[in-house]
Amino acid sequence: MGKKNVRVRAVQAAAAALLMAALASCGVVADQATAPPPPPSTPQAAAPTPSATPTPTPGSGPACKAVRCTSVLVTGDMLVHTQLWQQAHEDAVAGGVKGLDFGPLLEGQRRYIEQSDVAVCHQETPVALPGGPFSAYPSFNVPPQIAAAAKAVGYRACTTASNHTIDQGTEGLTRTLDVLDAAGLEHTGSYRTQAESRGILILQTEAARIAVITGTYGLNGQVPEQPWQVDMLDAPAMVAKAKEARSQGADIVLAAMHAGDEYASAPNAQQLEVAHALADSGQFTMIYGHHTHSVLPIEKYKGTWIAYGLGNGVTELSPTYVVNNEGLLLRAQFSQDSAGRWTASDVAWAPSVIVSAPYRWCSVASDAPQGVCSTPAADAETRLRTRQVVESMGAAQAGAHELLVTKDPDSKGP
Protein backbone atom coordinates (compact mmCIF):
# COMPACT_ATOMS: atom_id res chain seq x y z
CA MET A 1 0.00 0.00 0.00
CA GLY A 2 1.46 3.42 -0.97
CA LYS A 3 1.88 6.38 1.36
CA LYS A 4 -1.15 8.11 -0.19
CA ASN A 5 -3.40 5.14 0.57
CA VAL A 6 -2.07 4.94 4.12
CA ARG A 7 -2.92 8.61 4.63
CA VAL A 8 -6.46 8.03 3.21
CA ARG A 9 -7.04 5.05 5.52
CA ALA A 10 -5.78 7.08 8.49
CA VAL A 11 -8.11 9.97 7.71
CA GLN A 12 -11.09 7.60 7.36
CA ALA A 13 -10.25 5.86 10.63
CA ALA A 14 -9.93 9.19 12.43
CA ALA A 15 -13.25 10.39 10.99
CA ALA A 16 -15.01 7.23 12.11
CA ALA A 17 -13.56 7.58 15.62
CA LEU A 18 -14.69 11.21 15.89
CA LEU A 19 -18.18 10.33 14.70
CA MET A 20 -18.42 7.50 17.21
CA ALA A 21 -17.44 9.82 20.02
CA ALA A 22 -19.99 12.39 18.88
CA LEU A 23 -22.77 9.80 18.70
CA ALA A 24 -21.96 8.56 22.19
CA SER A 25 -22.24 12.14 23.50
CA CYS A 26 -25.74 12.33 22.00
CA GLY A 27 -27.09 9.42 23.98
CA VAL A 28 -26.41 6.68 21.43
CA VAL A 29 -25.00 3.52 22.99
CA ALA A 30 -22.57 1.49 20.87
CA ASP A 31 -20.42 -1.53 21.55
CA GLN A 32 -17.05 0.05 22.32
CA ALA A 33 -15.44 -3.37 22.78
CA THR A 34 -16.06 -4.38 19.16
CA ALA A 35 -13.93 -2.85 16.44
CA PRO A 36 -15.73 -1.72 13.25
CA PRO A 37 -15.84 -4.43 10.58
CA PRO A 38 -13.45 -4.24 7.64
CA PRO A 39 -14.69 -2.45 4.52
CA PRO A 40 -16.53 -4.61 1.97
CA SER A 41 -13.43 -4.78 -0.22
CA THR A 42 -11.48 -6.68 2.42
CA PRO A 43 -11.10 -10.37 1.48
CA GLN A 44 -12.92 -12.73 3.80
CA ALA A 45 -11.86 -16.15 4.98
CA ALA A 46 -12.99 -18.97 2.72
CA ALA A 47 -15.96 -21.05 3.82
CA PRO A 48 -15.43 -24.75 4.51
CA THR A 49 -15.67 -26.88 1.38
CA PRO A 50 -18.77 -29.13 1.50
CA SER A 51 -17.82 -32.72 2.21
CA ALA A 52 -19.60 -36.04 1.92
CA THR A 53 -20.53 -35.73 5.60
CA PRO A 54 -20.98 -32.00 6.30
CA THR A 55 -21.47 -30.84 9.85
CA PRO A 56 -25.21 -30.39 10.56
CA THR A 57 -25.94 -26.65 10.75
CA PRO A 58 -29.66 -25.90 11.13
CA GLY A 59 -29.41 -22.14 11.51
CA SER A 60 -32.13 -19.93 13.00
CA GLY A 61 -35.72 -19.97 11.82
CA PRO A 62 -37.95 -22.89 10.83
CA ALA A 63 -36.88 -26.51 11.16
CA CYS A 64 -34.07 -27.26 8.73
CA LYS A 65 -34.99 -30.05 6.35
CA ALA A 66 -31.45 -30.27 4.99
CA VAL A 67 -28.08 -30.81 6.60
CA ARG A 68 -27.24 -27.13 6.37
CA CYS A 69 -29.53 -24.09 6.51
CA THR A 70 -29.15 -20.38 7.08
CA SER A 71 -31.68 -17.54 7.15
CA VAL A 72 -31.66 -13.92 6.04
CA LEU A 73 -34.10 -11.18 7.04
CA VAL A 74 -34.51 -8.04 4.92
CA THR A 75 -36.66 -4.93 5.29
CA GLY A 76 -37.55 -1.89 3.20
CA ASP A 77 -36.65 1.78 3.21
CA MET A 78 -35.37 3.23 6.46
CA LEU A 79 -36.74 6.68 5.72
CA VAL A 80 -36.32 9.11 8.60
CA HIS A 81 -38.55 12.18 8.39
CA THR A 82 -38.94 15.13 10.77
CA GLN A 83 -41.63 13.53 12.91
CA LEU A 84 -39.41 10.53 13.55
CA TRP A 85 -36.47 12.52 14.90
CA GLN A 86 -38.91 14.56 16.98
CA GLN A 87 -40.15 11.25 18.39
CA ALA A 88 -36.56 10.12 18.97
CA HIS A 89 -35.99 13.28 21.01
CA GLU A 90 -39.09 12.57 23.12
CA ASP A 91 -37.97 8.97 23.64
CA ALA A 92 -34.52 10.14 24.70
CA VAL A 93 -36.04 12.50 27.27
CA ALA A 94 -38.32 9.74 28.55
CA GLY A 95 -35.33 7.41 28.84
CA GLY A 96 -33.19 9.96 30.63
CA VAL A 97 -30.54 10.17 27.92
CA LYS A 98 -29.26 13.07 25.88
CA GLY A 99 -29.83 13.61 22.18
CA LEU A 100 -31.98 11.22 20.15
CA ASP A 101 -33.06 7.64 20.80
CA PHE A 102 -34.45 5.70 17.82
CA GLY A 103 -34.41 2.42 19.73
CA PRO A 104 -38.11 2.38 20.69
CA LEU A 105 -39.09 3.12 17.07
CA LEU A 106 -37.34 -0.05 15.85
CA GLU A 107 -37.80 -2.28 18.90
CA GLY A 108 -40.73 -4.22 17.42
CA GLN A 109 -38.45 -5.68 14.76
CA ARG A 110 -36.16 -7.36 17.29
CA ARG A 111 -38.37 -10.44 17.77
CA TYR A 112 -38.14 -11.20 14.04
CA ILE A 113 -34.46 -10.36 13.66
CA GLU A 114 -33.58 -12.70 16.52
CA GLN A 115 -35.10 -15.57 14.58
CA SER A 116 -32.80 -15.10 11.58
CA ASP A 117 -29.07 -15.62 11.16
CA VAL A 118 -28.41 -12.24 9.56
CA ALA A 119 -30.54 -9.12 8.98
CA VAL A 120 -30.01 -6.44 6.31
CA CYS A 121 -31.64 -3.00 6.31
CA HIS A 122 -31.73 -0.27 3.67
CA GLN A 123 -30.32 3.10 4.74
CA GLU A 124 -32.00 5.19 2.07
CA THR A 125 -30.70 8.63 2.99
CA PRO A 126 -27.45 10.32 3.96
CA VAL A 127 -26.92 11.22 7.59
CA ALA A 128 -25.93 14.54 9.14
CA LEU A 129 -23.61 15.38 12.01
CA PRO A 130 -25.08 14.30 15.38
CA GLY A 131 -26.31 17.80 16.19
CA GLY A 132 -27.63 18.56 12.71
CA PRO A 133 -28.76 20.55 10.89
CA PHE A 134 -31.25 17.90 9.77
CA SER A 135 -33.47 18.00 6.70
CA ALA A 136 -36.12 15.78 5.15
CA TYR A 137 -37.63 15.63 1.65
CA PRO A 138 -36.54 16.56 -0.97
CA SER A 139 -32.90 16.66 0.15
CA PHE A 140 -32.41 14.40 3.14
CA ASN A 141 -29.83 14.85 5.88
CA VAL A 142 -31.05 12.76 8.80
CA PRO A 143 -29.83 12.11 12.35
CA PRO A 144 -26.94 9.61 12.39
CA GLN A 145 -28.24 8.06 15.62
CA ILE A 146 -30.52 5.87 13.47
CA ALA A 147 -27.49 3.73 12.57
CA ALA A 148 -26.63 2.81 16.15
CA ALA A 149 -30.30 2.00 16.79
CA ALA A 150 -30.38 -0.33 13.76
CA LYS A 151 -27.29 -2.12 15.03
CA ALA A 152 -28.68 -2.38 18.55
CA VAL A 153 -31.92 -4.01 17.37
CA GLY A 154 -29.92 -6.66 15.51
CA TYR A 155 -29.13 -5.54 11.95
CA ARG A 156 -25.74 -6.63 10.68
CA ALA A 157 -25.55 -4.69 7.41
CA CYS A 158 -27.34 -2.07 5.33
CA THR A 159 -27.57 -1.33 1.62
CA THR A 160 -27.06 2.34 0.73
CA ALA A 161 -27.75 2.75 -3.01
CA SER A 162 -30.88 4.88 -3.52
CA ASN A 163 -32.17 7.91 -5.37
CA HIS A 164 -31.20 9.96 -2.29
CA THR A 165 -27.66 8.63 -1.78
CA ILE A 166 -25.97 11.85 -2.94
CA ASP A 167 -28.51 14.33 -1.57
CA GLN A 168 -25.64 15.85 0.43
CA GLY A 169 -22.93 15.24 -2.17
CA THR A 170 -19.72 13.36 -1.59
CA GLU A 171 -19.41 14.76 1.93
CA GLY A 172 -22.78 13.31 2.94
CA LEU A 173 -22.06 9.99 1.26
CA THR A 174 -18.73 9.64 3.05
CA ARG A 175 -20.16 10.74 6.38
CA THR A 176 -22.91 8.12 6.11
CA LEU A 177 -20.47 5.29 5.50
CA ASP A 178 -18.26 6.49 8.36
CA VAL A 179 -21.29 6.48 10.68
CA LEU A 180 -22.27 2.96 9.61
CA ASP A 181 -18.69 1.82 10.24
CA ALA A 182 -18.68 3.46 13.66
CA ALA A 183 -21.96 1.72 14.54
CA GLY A 184 -20.57 -1.66 13.46
CA LEU A 185 -22.84 -2.03 10.43
CA GLU A 186 -21.41 -3.46 7.21
CA HIS A 187 -22.63 -1.83 4.01
CA THR A 188 -22.67 -1.83 0.23
CA GLY A 189 -24.10 0.33 -2.54
CA SER A 190 -22.09 3.54 -2.12
CA TYR A 191 -18.35 4.02 -1.75
CA ARG A 192 -15.64 6.38 -0.55
CA THR A 193 -12.97 5.15 -2.95
CA GLN A 194 -12.82 3.37 -6.28
CA ALA A 195 -11.03 0.45 -4.63
CA GLU A 196 -13.91 0.16 -2.14
CA SER A 197 -16.42 0.12 -5.01
CA ARG A 198 -14.78 -3.00 -6.42
CA GLY A 199 -15.35 -4.91 -3.20
CA ILE A 200 -18.17 -7.36 -2.52
CA LEU A 201 -20.14 -7.40 0.72
CA ILE A 202 -20.05 -11.01 1.94
CA LEU A 203 -21.69 -11.85 5.27
CA GLN A 204 -20.52 -15.03 7.00
CA THR A 205 -23.01 -17.13 8.96
CA GLU A 206 -22.30 -20.43 10.67
CA ALA A 207 -23.41 -22.36 7.58
CA ALA A 208 -22.81 -20.12 4.57
CA ARG A 209 -21.33 -17.00 2.99
CA ILE A 210 -23.96 -14.53 1.77
CA ALA A 211 -23.15 -11.82 -0.78
CA VAL A 212 -25.34 -8.73 -1.20
CA ILE A 213 -25.30 -6.79 -4.49
CA THR A 214 -27.44 -3.70 -4.99
CA GLY A 215 -28.28 -0.89 -7.41
CA THR A 216 -30.57 2.11 -7.73
CA TYR A 217 -32.65 3.15 -10.74
CA GLY A 218 -31.45 6.75 -10.48
CA LEU A 219 -30.24 9.66 -8.35
CA ASN A 220 -33.08 12.18 -8.74
CA GLY A 221 -31.23 13.87 -11.58
CA GLN A 222 -28.11 14.45 -9.52
CA VAL A 223 -24.69 13.45 -10.79
CA PRO A 224 -22.06 11.96 -8.46
CA GLU A 225 -18.55 13.36 -8.54
CA GLN A 226 -17.32 9.93 -9.60
CA PRO A 227 -19.33 7.27 -11.46
CA TRP A 228 -18.19 4.54 -9.05
CA GLN A 229 -19.60 6.29 -5.96
CA VAL A 230 -23.07 4.68 -6.23
CA ASP A 231 -24.12 1.31 -7.63
CA MET A 232 -26.70 1.79 -10.38
CA LEU A 233 -29.42 -0.64 -11.43
CA ASP A 234 -27.51 -2.25 -14.30
CA ALA A 235 -28.19 -5.95 -14.86
CA PRO A 236 -24.89 -6.81 -16.63
CA ALA A 237 -22.85 -4.97 -13.98
CA MET A 238 -24.75 -6.69 -11.16
CA VAL A 239 -24.30 -10.10 -12.79
CA ALA A 240 -20.58 -9.44 -13.13
CA LYS A 241 -20.40 -8.61 -9.42
CA ALA A 242 -22.35 -11.76 -8.62
CA LYS A 243 -19.85 -13.84 -10.56
CA GLU A 244 -17.03 -12.18 -8.66
CA ALA A 245 -18.82 -12.94 -5.39
CA ARG A 246 -19.09 -16.60 -6.41
CA SER A 247 -15.38 -16.64 -7.25
CA GLN A 248 -14.71 -15.33 -3.73
CA GLY A 249 -16.64 -18.24 -2.22
CA ALA A 250 -20.15 -16.83 -1.81
CA ASP A 251 -22.70 -19.62 -1.38
CA ILE A 252 -25.75 -17.36 -1.59
CA VAL A 253 -26.02 -14.15 -3.62
CA LEU A 254 -28.80 -11.64 -2.99
CA ALA A 255 -29.77 -8.74 -5.24
CA ALA A 256 -31.36 -5.62 -3.72
CA MET A 257 -33.06 -3.44 -6.34
CA HIS A 258 -33.99 0.16 -5.50
CA ALA A 259 -36.61 0.80 -8.18
CA GLY A 260 -40.29 1.03 -9.08
CA ASP A 261 -43.19 3.48 -9.21
CA GLU A 262 -43.98 5.15 -5.91
CA TYR A 263 -47.15 3.95 -4.12
CA ALA A 264 -47.77 1.29 -6.79
CA SER A 265 -49.14 -2.19 -6.11
CA ALA A 266 -47.35 -3.93 -8.99
CA PRO A 267 -43.77 -3.87 -10.35
CA ASN A 268 -43.09 -1.66 -13.34
CA ALA A 269 -41.43 -2.71 -16.61
CA GLN A 270 -37.93 -1.87 -15.41
CA GLN A 271 -38.30 -3.94 -12.25
CA LEU A 272 -39.58 -6.93 -14.19
CA GLU A 273 -36.88 -6.67 -16.85
CA VAL A 274 -33.97 -6.31 -14.45
CA ALA A 275 -35.19 -8.86 -11.92
CA HIS A 276 -35.82 -11.46 -14.61
CA ALA A 277 -32.43 -10.77 -16.19
CA LEU A 278 -30.73 -11.27 -12.85
CA ALA A 279 -32.64 -14.50 -12.25
CA ASP A 280 -31.93 -15.75 -15.78
CA SER A 281 -28.19 -15.28 -15.17
CA GLY A 282 -28.24 -18.15 -12.70
CA GLN A 283 -25.99 -16.15 -10.36
CA PHE A 284 -28.58 -14.92 -7.84
CA THR A 285 -30.22 -16.98 -5.12
CA MET A 286 -32.92 -14.40 -4.30
CA ILE A 287 -33.89 -10.90 -5.40
CA TYR A 288 -35.73 -8.25 -3.40
CA GLY A 289 -36.50 -4.56 -3.71
CA HIS A 290 -37.45 -1.26 -2.12
CA HIS A 291 -38.12 2.38 -3.11
CA THR A 292 -41.85 2.44 -3.96
CA HIS A 293 -42.95 3.14 -0.35
CA SER A 294 -45.54 0.45 -0.86
CA VAL A 295 -45.64 -3.32 -0.61
CA LEU A 296 -45.31 -5.12 -3.95
CA PRO A 297 -45.89 -8.76 -4.99
CA ILE A 298 -43.64 -11.73 -4.40
CA GLU A 299 -43.03 -13.98 -7.40
CA LYS A 300 -41.24 -17.26 -7.98
CA TYR A 301 -39.75 -16.85 -11.42
CA LYS A 302 -38.12 -19.93 -12.98
CA GLY A 303 -37.26 -21.19 -9.52
CA THR A 304 -35.90 -17.87 -8.17
CA TRP A 305 -37.84 -15.89 -5.56
CA ILE A 306 -38.32 -12.19 -6.28
CA ALA A 307 -39.87 -9.84 -3.69
CA TYR A 308 -40.42 -6.71 -5.76
CA GLY A 309 -40.98 -4.24 -2.95
CA LEU A 310 -40.83 -4.37 0.85
CA GLY A 311 -42.44 -0.98 1.41
CA ASN A 312 -41.10 1.17 4.22
CA GLY A 313 -39.07 -0.12 7.12
CA VAL A 314 -39.74 3.10 9.02
CA THR A 315 -41.29 6.37 7.90
CA GLU A 316 -43.63 9.08 9.13
CA LEU A 317 -47.33 8.70 8.43
CA SER A 318 -48.69 9.91 5.13
CA PRO A 319 -52.14 11.53 5.24
CA THR A 320 -52.56 10.81 1.50
CA TYR A 321 -51.16 7.35 0.76
CA VAL A 322 -52.14 4.64 3.23
CA VAL A 323 -49.74 2.20 1.54
CA ASN A 324 -46.85 4.50 2.53
CA ASN A 325 -47.45 3.56 6.15
CA GLU A 326 -47.10 -0.19 5.50
CA GLY A 327 -44.16 -2.49 5.07
CA LEU A 328 -43.07 -6.06 4.60
CA LEU A 329 -40.47 -7.88 6.64
CA LEU A 330 -39.13 -10.85 4.67
CA ARG A 331 -37.26 -13.85 6.04
CA ALA A 332 -35.84 -16.45 3.70
CA GLN A 333 -34.33 -19.74 4.80
CA PHE A 334 -31.71 -21.15 2.44
CA SER A 335 -30.86 -24.86 2.34
CA GLN A 336 -27.93 -26.69 0.79
CA ASP A 337 -28.71 -29.81 -1.24
CA SER A 338 -26.54 -32.92 -1.62
CA ALA A 339 -24.79 -31.35 -4.62
CA GLY A 340 -23.78 -28.32 -2.55
CA ARG A 341 -26.27 -25.93 -4.20
CA TRP A 342 -28.09 -23.41 -2.05
CA THR A 343 -31.72 -22.45 -2.71
CA ALA A 344 -34.43 -20.57 -0.84
CA SER A 345 -36.33 -23.39 0.83
CA ASP A 346 -38.69 -21.25 2.93
CA VAL A 347 -39.92 -17.73 2.16
CA ALA A 348 -42.01 -16.02 4.82
CA TRP A 349 -43.24 -12.46 5.25
CA ALA A 350 -44.74 -10.37 8.03
CA PRO A 351 -46.88 -7.29 7.34
CA SER A 352 -46.18 -4.14 9.33
CA VAL A 353 -47.52 -0.66 9.85
CA ILE A 354 -46.18 2.57 11.32
CA VAL A 355 -48.27 3.97 14.16
CA SER A 356 -47.96 7.37 15.82
CA ALA A 357 -48.39 8.89 19.27
CA PRO A 358 -45.83 7.51 19.83
CA TYR A 359 -44.25 6.61 16.50
CA ARG A 360 -43.43 2.90 16.37
CA TRP A 361 -42.83 0.10 13.86
CA CYS A 362 -45.60 -2.41 14.55
CA SER A 363 -46.29 -5.93 13.26
CA VAL A 364 -49.82 -6.69 12.05
CA ALA A 365 -49.09 -10.38 11.46
CA SER A 366 -51.72 -12.89 12.54
CA ASP A 367 -49.73 -13.54 15.70
CA ALA A 368 -48.40 -9.98 16.14
CA PRO A 369 -46.14 -10.40 19.17
CA GLN A 370 -46.67 -6.91 20.57
CA GLY A 371 -50.46 -7.07 20.36
CA VAL A 372 -52.79 -4.60 18.63
CA CYS A 373 -51.16 -1.79 16.66
CA SER A 374 -54.08 0.51 15.89
CA THR A 375 -57.37 -1.33 16.34
CA PRO A 376 -58.14 -5.00 15.67
CA ALA A 377 -60.19 -4.00 12.63
CA ALA A 378 -57.57 -1.64 11.20
CA ASP A 379 -54.80 -4.19 11.75
CA ALA A 380 -56.84 -6.88 10.01
CA GLU A 381 -57.51 -4.53 7.09
CA THR A 382 -53.80 -3.80 6.68
CA ARG A 383 -52.96 -7.50 6.89
CA LEU A 384 -55.57 -8.37 4.25
CA ARG A 385 -54.46 -5.58 1.90
CA THR A 386 -50.83 -6.68 2.23
CA ARG A 387 -51.68 -10.34 1.63
CA GLN A 388 -53.69 -9.54 -1.50
CA VAL A 389 -50.78 -7.61 -3.01
CA VAL A 390 -48.05 -10.03 -1.92
CA GLU A 391 -49.91 -13.02 -3.35
CA SER A 392 -51.10 -11.35 -6.59
CA MET A 393 -48.31 -12.96 -8.66
CA GLY A 394 -48.67 -16.50 -7.33
CA ALA A 395 -46.55 -16.33 -4.18
CA ALA A 396 -48.88 -18.46 -2.04
CA GLN A 397 -49.20 -21.16 -4.68
CA ALA A 398 -45.40 -21.26 -4.93
CA GLY A 399 -45.07 -21.70 -1.17
CA ALA A 400 -44.48 -18.25 0.35
CA HIS A 401 -46.38 -17.80 3.59
CA GLU A 402 -46.96 -15.46 6.50
CA LEU A 403 -44.15 -15.37 9.05
CA LEU A 404 -45.31 -16.35 12.52
CA VAL A 405 -42.93 -15.91 15.43
CA THR A 406 -45.09 -16.77 18.44
CA LYS A 407 -47.06 -19.74 17.09
CA ASP A 408 -44.53 -21.46 14.83
CA PRO A 409 -43.51 -24.69 16.60
CA ASP A 410 -40.50 -25.06 14.30
CA SER A 411 -39.03 -21.69 15.17
CA LYS A 412 -35.82 -21.71 17.18
CA GLY A 413 -36.36 -18.15 18.32
CA PRO A 414 -37.53 -17.04 21.78
What pLDDT does residue 22 have? 45
What pLDDT does residue 128 have? 98
Domain for residue 48, yes or no? no
Domain for residue 3, yes or no? no
Domain for residue 411, yes or no? no
What pLDDT does residue 41 have? 42
Domain for residue 27, yes or no? no
Give the separation between CA 4 and CA 359, rounded to whole angstroms: 46
Domain for residue 6, yes or no? no
- Residue 383: CB partners within 8 Å, gap ≥ 6? 351, 364, 365, 366
Domain for residue 144, yes or no? yes
Q: How long, in residues, is the chain?
A: 414
What pLDDT does residue 406 have? 77
Domain for residue 346, yes or no? yes
What pLDDT does residue 303 have? 97
Asked whether the beta carbons of 356 and 343 are under 8 A apart, the reply is no
- Residue 113: CB partners within 8 Å, gap ≥ 6? 73, 119, 153, 154, 155
Domain for residue 192, yes or no? yes
| Per-residue pLDDT tens over the stretch 319-348 | 899 999 999 999 999 999 989 999 999 999
CATH number of 186's domain: 3.60.21.10
What pLDDT does residue 165 have? 98
- Give the helix/strand (H/E) hosting 72: strand 68-78
Which regions of the chain are under pLDDT 50?
Answer: 1-51, 409-414
Domain hosting residue 203, numbered range: 54-402
User: Helices in 205-314 by DSSP H: which ranges?
Assistant: 235-247, 269-280
Domain count, the chain: 1
The dihedral formed by the CA atoms of 145, 151, 157 and 163, expressed in degrees to the nearest 10:
-30
Asked whether the beta carbons of 296 and 289 are under 8 A apart, the reply is yes
The sign of the dihedral angle between the CA atoms of 75, 79, 85, 86 is: negative
